[in-house]
Chain A
């Protein structure tokens, strides 16, 4: 297990509860979303969540990317953690969709992650990140 964080605050210690568990009762501040669960159910509670962990059972299952975008577009500012089959070749996509923590089942080399994140100098689309898309650079 490797945890790489792109946040300055301390890592959240409390383990995430299931979505059902969270919606059922709790005043939990961390929740874990399994692939296929509808993250929009969390939207009313974003201000009290500090960690949302999104499962990637296999790197090929891309549903978590949309979940991340939906949360960030709704204003969620807490930690958004990609957990599971998180590989070096997807870290750019993950970061651009708003994940700011990567929890990989296999060893993930931090230097390689930095290198991968630095590889592309520009991006065409506006996404969940501060960098301006190419069309904005072209036209101001």
Chain B
């Protein structure tokens, strides 16, 4: 875990005081809402339908128990006892008062947390693989690089008023668990001839113009990361359109000028930037890496697990994966109970999760972009106790990557941008497919719902994606198939005319029954769709 030193602490504290002053000036009328808006957004504060929403940064999705308990405390004291985990590994509070926000930020700062750049046209929270540091398939822990980029991007003087928001993800394994290619910049740590470096993908994104990022640099030496990204951002900032916010993302620029020209301009800029000496020295990366040293796990080949309780065995099969150290496991805690709100957790549940992280996971937990929580370092001998505690807290739903493990944005229940509600639809879908045997038979199905074209619910990347639109004043849902946010990233395609809320639940069920009748051995829904195309599904759905 990264720990602040005096410099980090002083900067976050100064930011809290700056925002306190800005809120005061807003409340006194010295700042107009137009002037205040970008300032509050750069501190994660949105004005939503019913209240302010505060988005707290969880850098690369990593938390310790003390920080997690603070999130629960804030939920109780300033919100309505809930927090909502987001697809960018952050946490949102939906019922915040403007004049409380400086105090909330001050409380967060006491546990080395903040809401800096969780919104606004700047470089947002750096996301990463939720299994980082624990996964058997990683080249190295990607989080030290993410922390290096957190520092580089924090209050960056040149890149705080970009054409549009800018999202960066860092991974270090072939399996992409962070939707890396759907970011403005996706970085994959690789080893070539013994040296660490990055594959650099630029220009991915979702929203109204979804794009899978093209590979811009095949191998960037790891110690030149900051220089190269500075060049990438400078080319974007110089070019990037300001006339139309829908054309302002870097994906549009790269689409318009082409990956080759963008690459050439970045390389030219990079030659210049590299000579400026803006890359931190190796000692800085080493300082950060030391704080991410793996926990002292001892290889244990002797653990046997009693699987006689079928509910426990089911949970083991779905929520627990292999750790790089034998005898240990990575546990995913589902925040997707049947009929629940995806990503929501009560303050009490957040406290339970904090306790489990402290007792059983070397004081560490992770937030996933699929809105779940991970205990990354659990001894297998402790799994039964972890499961029992999760069961008691309503957190043991065994549905990871199954049809009811739905990603959904807050939708029209909260969001001022939404055209349709997402949450009630997610609840109906998970209730329709509540039966565990049926879910298991359907296998991996990533279903994602967005309540508007901005695609916060990642519907483009859903094996099944649902987009809520407004059609003549009525909520209407468009269905798409074939998206993926994984290493086989792809953008889903709309299959035909939209549906009512109940209609889209029926259509999903019809599609999945069609899949069951046409699948071959071992095929997921996505594989069958890719093999046979949309026609058989359309024929069944629009019959």
Contact = CB atoms under 8 A, between A and B. Distances in A.
B234 to A, nearest CB: 5
A120 B278 contact: no
B161 A61 contact: yes
B35 A66 contact: no
Interface residues of A, number: 35
5 tightest Cβ-Cβ pairs between the two chains A and B: A62-B161, A96-B157, A135-B280, A93-B157, A124-B151
B281 A122 contact: no
Contact of B242 (A63, A89, A122): A63
A112 to B, nearest CB: 10
A92 B157 contact: yes
Contacts of B159: 62, 65
Contacts of A92: 155, 157
Nearest to B158: A65
Nearest to B242: A61
Interface of A: 35, 38, 59-63, 65-67, 69, 73, 87, 89-90, 92-94, 96-97, 119-127, 133-135, 137-139
B155 A123 contact: yes
Nearest to A62: B161
Interface stretch (B5-13, B101-109, B177-185): B5-13
B17 interface: yes
A60 B14 contact: no
B277 A126 contact: yes
A35 B161 CA distance: 13
A138 B287 CA distance: 10
A134 B151 contact: yes
Contacts of A123: 155, 157
Contact of B276 (A67, A73, A87, A89): A73
Given A73-B276, A89-B22, A139 B283 contact: yes
Contacts of A89: 22, 35, 39
Nearest to A106: B35
Contacts of A127: 157-158
A62 B10 contact: no
B248 to A, nearest CB: 11
21 contacts: A59-B35, A59-B161, A61-B242, A62-B237, A63-B238, A89-B22, A92-B155, A119-B14, A119-B18, A122-B11, A124-B11, A125-B152, A125-B278, A126-B277, A127-B157, A127-B158, A134-B151, A135-B284, A138-B283, A139-B284, A139-B287
Contacts of B8: 134
Contacts of B38: 59-60
A119 B14 CA distance: 6
B242 A66 contact: no
A124 B5 CA distance: 13
Contacts of A94: 157
B160 interface: yes
A139 to B, nearest CB: 5
B10 A60 contact: no
Contact of B237 (A63, A73, A122): A63
A69 B276 CA distance: 11
Contacts of B281: 135, 139
B161 A93 contact: yes
Contacts of B160: 62, 65, 93
A69 to B, nearest CB: 5
A95 B278 CA distance: 18
Interface in B1-57: 5, 7-8, 10-11, 14-15, 17-18, 22, 35, 38-39
A85 to B, nearest CB: 10
B300 to A, nearest CB: 38
- Most A Cβ at <10 Å: residue of B5, B15, B151, B238: B238
B154 A69 contact: no
A138 B291 CA distance: 15
